[in-house]
Amino acid sequence: MLRRLSLKTFPKPLSAREEKEYLERCNEGDQLARDVLIERNMRLVAHVVKKYQSPDYDIEDLLSVGTIGLIKAVNTFKVDKGSRLATYAAKCVENEILMLFRASKKLSKEVSLFEPIGVDKDGEAVSLVDIIEMENKETIDTMILKQDVKELYEAFDSCLSDTEKTVIRMRYGLFRGKEHTQREIAAQLGISRSYVSRIEKKALEKLKGEFQKHEN
């Protein structure tokens, strides 16, 4: 049985300013800065690992392999204007995991994404993974936000009653809807504003509890 992997158990990523500072120090040979860059990007490794969880591999093994990719990324990343380490590191982490799968011949479909399909303007081999990365560059903050939103909607569907879903959906404008005040919701549902407030509070407590379960 696979243990659930939570991104929230890892340190928060560095801000753009902090990342730039530590990268400059790392390029000057500062080992402490290098260690900080690795530690504060472990969330990225965990995010990539979540996409490749399989009964054939322990999470700890995938994290170890992914960490190797992160270390390689920190060691070889070249700072360019507007570039972020996370985009480059995500590719390096995936490369290491896909190489693991290639070695064991277990996930041939994913491995095929890594096969060269041409060359770029510098004569370097380009794979489907390279193209996907170029078309879908995301910082680690964006990836984590997407994961949190996904878990929010899963919790919304699984732990709320129909009335609670209606109140939360209207109150916070979920599913691209319009946000409503408690008074407006009460008028539409034919109940008191104070009752809407109690329903909202109870529903939020349920959602909070569901998120906390995911962190364990």
Interval 144-200: pLDDT, tens: 566 667 777 888 888 899 999 999 999 988 888 888 999 999 999 999 999 999 999
pLDDT of residue 67: 92
pLDDT of residue 146: 67
Mean pLDDT of 64-92: 85
**C-alpha torsion 152→157→161→162, nearest 10:** 110
The band of 130, judged by pLDDT with boundaries at 50, 70 and 90, is: low
CATH code for the part of the protein at 160-215: 1.10.10.10
Short-list 46, 48, 100, 36, CA closest to 74: 36
Return the CATH fold of 7-137: Rna Polymerase Sigma Factor; Chain: A (1.10.1740)
Residue range 1-48, pLDDT digits in tens: 344 555 556 778 888 888 888 988 988 888 999 999 999 999 889 888
Q: How far is CA 48 from the centre of its chain?
A: 7
How many CA atoms within 13 Å lie on the side-chain side of 103? 8
Please say if the pLDDT value at position 58 is more than 60. yes
Short-list 134, 130, 100, 135, CA closest to 114: 130
pLDDT of residue 82: 61
- For the chain, the structural domain boundaries read 7-137, 160-215
pLDDT of residue 214: 56
Neighbours of 181 (CB within 10 A): 12
Mean pLDDT of 96-116: 60
Q: Which residues pair with 119 in a beta bridge?
A: 125
Please say if the pLDDT value at position 120 is more than 70. no
The band of 79, judged by pLDDT with boundaries at 50, 70 and 90, is: confident
> Would you state the structure tokens that stand for residue 6, as one six-digit string?
């939570």
User: Is the separation of the CB atoms in 161 and 206 below 8 Å?
Assistant: no
CA distance 172 to 184: 13
Residue range 154-165, pLDDT digits in tens: 888 888 999 999
Give just the sign of the alpha carbon dihedral 139, 93, 73, 127: negative
The band of 53, judged by pLDDT with boundaries at 50, 70 and 90, is: confident
Strands 116-119 and 125-127: antiparallel
Q: Which residues contact 11 (CB under 8 A, 6 or more apart)?
A: 39, 40, 42, 43
Task: Render the burial of 130-146: b for 16+ CB within 10 Å, e for the rest.
Answer: beebeeeebbbeebbee
**C-alpha torsion 57→58→62→68, nearest 10:** -120
Mean pLDDT (the chain) is 77
